[in-house]
Amino acid sequence: MVDALTQSMGAAPQLIWHRETVLPDLDLIVLPGGFSYGDYLRSGAMAARSPVMKEVVRKANDGVAVLGVCNGFQMLTEAGLLPGALMRNRSLKFICRDVFLKVDGANQTFSGNYSSGQVIRIPVAHHDGNYFADNETLNRLEGEGQVGYRYCDAEGNTGDAINPNGSARHIAGIYNDRGNVLGMMPHPEDHVEDLQGCSDGRGLFDGLVEALS
Amino acid sequence: MSASTVKKHTMTPTAVIEITDDVVAEHGLSPDEYKMVLDIMGRVPNLTELGIFSVMWSEHCSYKSSKKWLKTLPTEAPWVICGPGENAGIVDIGDGQAAVFKMESHNHPSYIEPYQGAATGVGGIMRDVFTMGARPIANLNALRFGQPGHEKTRHLVDGVVAGIGGYGNCMGVPTVGGETAFHSSYDGNILVNAMTVGLANADSIFYSTAAGIGNPVIYVGSKTGRDGIHGATMASTEFDEGTEAKRPTVQVGDPFTEKLLLEACLELMGTDAIVAIQDMGAAGLTSSSFEMAGKGGVGIEIKLDQVPQRETGMTPYEIMLSESQERMLMVLHRGAEDEARKIFEKWELDFAVIGHLTETGRMVLTVDGETVADLPIDPLSEASPEYDRPWVETPLPATLDAADVAPDVDPMEALAKLIASPDLCSKRWIWEQYDHLVMGHTLERPGGDAAVVRIPGHNKALAVTSDCTPRYCQAHPKTGGAQAVVETWRNLTATGATPLAITDCMNFGNPERPEIMGQFVGAIEGMREACLALDYPVVSGNVSLYNETKGTGVQPTPTIGGVGVISDIAHTTNLAVKTEGDCLIVIGETVGHLGASLYAREIAGIADSDAGAPPPVDLAVERTNGDFVRGLIENGEINACHDLSDGGLLIGLADMALAGNQGIDITIEADMPQHAMLFGEDQGRYIVSCSAGFAAQLINKATEANIPAKQVGIVGGKSLKLSPDCAISLATLRDAFENWLPDFMSPDD
């Protein structure tokens, strides 16, 4: 994640220790993937209660852009910044593979470099990526354009057989209602240069830099 | 403190245990070994001391049956920074950087408790690597399971794979490669061999030699519990009906603590605090303290009451023999304790000064000031027993005649069956459960010849692989040992890497049986010759013996892990065919050797014992052919490359077609029986792909270098085609390749 951000920003991001209680002035907060506290409780549940998260929530509510990837997405739902929860994959197994995502390009902060309906190839690597929310919430997310990314095939078709983890309505990533918080399970940072086999994820970071600078 | 004042037993509510013959036998010591104990001690040891002798002299810790032979392996080259004997081996990869790597077995525990056994195997090997100051950047694993029909196989595959993934994924280290195979000889003893490759600065390597009388001995990491007691001794005996009862000897992993330990250790290594550091692996606090002191020729006094403990009422015996995971022992410079403590407290890990170095050459253990054990260090570490066990050579079997190996089977039917066989089928079901992309530097993912991992901030990469062909080793251990080494060398070469060095993980049966010992000796001899011929030394390794149940041993399995460097990532390749019209050329001579082949086993149904000699390995030819192929890659003259091994030419072509999702028109002139040409497992061969315009030039170039090179196909279409009526579509082939393992693992779906 640090490498991908550095490539797009031209400068390294600042790393913040989880016990910090004050955040500096910043344009973007990124909660990267990983296994915070080993995910021994629910994924992201303990990290969502780290001292620094109070400040992250405050900044998010002030309108600062927040990106949570994988474990970061799980933390965002646990912290209440995004609705729903990430349950264990339908297969009950960890899954690491490339998937195709259909982008909803309407969010100018996070998807400015993608066109609406564009299909991108990005890897997933998670055990708990099966997005769940009640129907009312799902309807609202869809109705308000808050579904940022959906699992699909190379042609953009969705379906249960294509969905890697059983996630509701094939959801891979969602925005909060204000549009300044994005949580997504796939790892765009692992597809930012051709050497990695694909650079489709680069657009997200380049778009962020353009939108926020 | 004189020996006679040592208390017989301590701090424990249990009664003093008398050291009877039965107690000695339970500790895995032979009567002769116990006599040596009495001579060394000059008295009857107490139970703690006996336990320490037991683990330190176990096969697992002492290498008593194997070290005579391991010493014959070549371990030096100008690029070797550290050879065997440390926590891991180290090679120079240029730019002041070093690759630190080792492979280790966790066979016995993984059979008893597959998830935790495999998980802690991964944890242990990563600790070996970061102990030396390296950040792990790639994990691999070589797995051998029993036959698919065995009642335990599915359960073991499921647990082992989940355990490896559970630990490695949580640590954030990509698991990028390995191999998995099945054979009835592993029904009662699976093999779980885990390898870690780390990256360090060549001028900032940490070793385990204790030094500086009076320097503090520090314990960091997790607390000590009662798990894993006698794991090393358990791993040094055969299995029998009572094996299930040994579950408490298996350790329980905590990968998040290990992640904290990794970061804390690397942070401390950025200071000048550390004199020596050693992870607590097999035999825990005992082996780490004895090995560090033994290497430094010093003594240690340890206050056991200062050891952080997870449970109450632990005896000295339990504390010394616990194999609780995620622990490290360090010797610091005097005065550096506070600086170090701050770092470990920041990472929320235990940090305890538990003792200091002495000049006595003895290990003195105390509880509340009272001595509970007092042993000399040297006889338990550097001067532990060494055996020259009797051995008999395995004779080379007769060569199998191709005419006797199912000559009339339709080649495409045979291909479809072979590629769906347990050993050749896709292992995607396994490696998709491993995060193979975390860190973002995986350039070649699992499924190819070798995985390729970029060195951050540089234009270079490491290629890593693990290989062994146990059926060759069974048929003729010397040939099999050499073949395992050359196959890793070929796999690295096929990516364009320059192979640097290997780690070995020697999995064999009971060495007290001369034929098993002979397999070990033979395999070592073959490996030695191959390493010498290829300038490809052994820098680290591990021996796992007694992989045997009720008198039946596993196929001899000297797993080899190879590491190579790619100096410019612009000049690397993989096995996927790229462009329609490209020509496929086999480099190396095809003679159609079907002995000990997968075709003989899977298609002709020939029993292992009748399958004849394995393909001979010509080391000079390997070197010539490999250097030639590497040159082609470095020059950018070819756009795909695949080493030929299991299953032979047709399997190799199928692998390349599937990886590139393009068909191949096969254009061979058969100057031998067709099945021998298509499925023979002749060594020293690669298939390369180049533009049609360059093919003639490439063949000329090879011919000038006296290297056989023959065009065998052209890329195009959507099938693998020998002739218009002998073809198989890519879709059919892919189904056969991809479906066997998921179907096997989920029979009800």
pLDDT tens readout for residues B450-485: 999 999 999 999 999 999 999 999 999 999 999 999
- The pLDDT tens digits of the residues spanning B99-149 come to 999 999 999 999 999 999 999 999 999 999 999 999 999 999 999 999 999
Which pLDDT value is given to residue B245?
66
Which pLDDT value is given to residue B233?
67
Average pLDDT over residues B703-727: 96
Chain A from 120 to 139: CB within 8 A of any B CB: 123, 125, 127
Confidence of residue B243 (pLDDT cuts 50, 70, 90): low
Average pLDDT over residues B43-72: 94
Higher pLDDT, A64 or B671: A64
How far A197 CA sits from the closest chain B CA (Å)? 7
Confidence of residue B283 (pLDDT cuts 50, 70, 90): confident
pLDDT over 50 at B13, yes or no: no
Q: Which token pair is B594?
A: 């079907």
Average pLDDT over residues B706-717: 97
What is the pTM for the complete model shown?
0.95
Confidence of residue B444 (pLDDT cuts 50, 70, 90): very high
- The pLDDT tens digits of the residues spanning A169-195 come to 999 999 999 999 999 999 999 999 999
- A2-9 vs A202-212: helix axis angle to the nearest 10? 50
Rounded to the nearest integer, the mean pLDDT of chain B is 94
Chain B from 556 to 585: CB within 8 A of any A CB: 569
A76-86 core/surface letters (b: 16 or more CB in 10 A; e: else): bbbbebbbbbb
Confidence of residue B228 (pLDDT cuts 50, 70, 90): confident
Domain boundaries, chain A: 2-212
Q: Which token pair is B666?
A: 């096969």
Please list every residue in chain B whose beta carbon sits closer than 8 Å to the beta carbon of residue A190: 437-438, 440
DSSP B174: -
pLDDT over 80 at B676, yes or no: yes
Cβ B451 vs Cβ B502: under 8 Å:
no
B326 touches chain A (CB under 8 A): no
pLDDT over 60 at B430, yes or no: yes
Please list every residue in chain B whose beta carbon sits closer than 8 Å to the beta carbon of residue A123: 437
> Under DSSP, is residue B386 helix (H, G, I), strand (E, B) or coil?
coil
State how far the Cα of B185 lies from the Cα of B128, in Å rounded to an integer.
30
pLDDT over 60 at B238, yes or no: yes
Which pLDDT value is given to residue B242?
67
Cβ B159 vs Cβ B194: under 8 Å:
no
Burial class (CB in 10 A: 0-12, 13-18, 19+), B597: buried
Average pLDDT over residues B411-421: 98
Q: Which token pair is A209?
A: 């830099």
Which pLDDT value is given to residue B8?
44
pLDDT over 60 at B11, yes or no: no
Please list every residue in chain A whose beta carbon sits closer than 8 Å to the beta carbon of residue B257: 38
Active site residues of A: 70, 187, 189
A2 touches chain B (CB under 8 A): no
Cβ B373 vs Cβ B315: under 8 Å:
no
Residue A153 dihedral angles phi and psi, to the nearest 5°: -100, -175
Which pLDDT value is given to residue B2?
41
Which pLDDT value is given to residue B749?
61
B436 touches chain A (CB under 8 A): yes
Confidence of residue B234 (pLDDT cuts 50, 70, 90): low
Please list every residue in chain A whose beta carbon sits closer than 8 Å to the beta carbon of residue B259: 35, 38
Which pLDDT value is given to residue B187?
96
> Under 8 Å CB-to-CB from B146, ≥6 apart: which residues?
B152, B153, B156, B182, B183, B184, B185, B186, B187, B188, B190
Higher pLDDT, B390 or B18: B390
Residue B391 dihedral angles phi and psi, to the nearest 5°: -145, 150
State how far the Cα of B104 lies from the Cα of A141, in Å rounded to an integer.
49
How far B486 CA sits from the closest chain A CA (Å)? 28
Percent of chain B with pLDDT over 70: 96
Sign of CA dihedral B215, B220, B225, B231: negative
Higher pLDDT, A108 or A133: A133
B329-340 core/surface letters (b: 16 or more CB in 10 A; e: else): bbbbbeebeeeb
Pick among A96, A189, A200, A202 to test the B interface (most B CBs inside 10 A): A96
- What's B284-325 look like in SS3? HHHHHHHHHHHHHCCEEEEEHHHCCECCCCCCHHHHHHCCCC
Sign of CA dihedral A31, A33, A36, A40: positive
For B162-308, strand residue ranges (E) read 175-182, 191-201, 216-221, 274-279, 299-303
Confidence of residue A104 (pLDDT cuts 50, 70, 90): confident
What Å distances lie between residue B357 and A105, B274, B326, B332, B362, CA to CA?
Answer: 65, 14, 23, 10, 10
Which pLDDT value is given to residue B281?
84
How far B64 CA sits from the closest chain A CA (Å)? 39
> Under 8 Å CB-to-CB from B161, ≥6 apart: which residues?
B118, B143, B430, B433, B434
- The pLDDT tens digits of the residues spanning B160-197 come to 999 999 999 999 999 999 999 999 999 999 999 999 99
Which pLDDT value is given to residue B1?
37
pLDDT over 50 at B7, yes or no: no
Q: Tokens 């790229």 sit at which residue?
A: B578
Q: In chain A, whose CA is at the least distance from the CA of B166?
A: A94
ipTM value greater than 0.85: yes
Is A40–B456 a contact, with Cβ atoms under 8 angstroms apart?
Answer: no
Asked which of A119-128, B9-18, B377-386, B447-456 is least confident by mean pLDDT, the reply is B9-18
A38 touches chain B (CB under 8 A): yes
pLDDT over 90 at B651, yes or no: yes
Confidence of residue B15 (pLDDT cuts 50, 70, 90): very low
Active site residue B106: yes
Which pLDDT value is given to residue B309?
96
Confidence of residue B156 (pLDDT cuts 50, 70, 90): very high
pLDDT over 70 at B4, yes or no: no
Interface size between A and B, measured as CB pairs under 8 A:
64
Q: What is the CATH number of domain A2-212?
A: 3.40.50.880
Average pLDDT over residues B630-635: 98
B435 touches chain A (CB under 8 A): yes
Helix, strand counts (H, E) of chain A: 5, 9
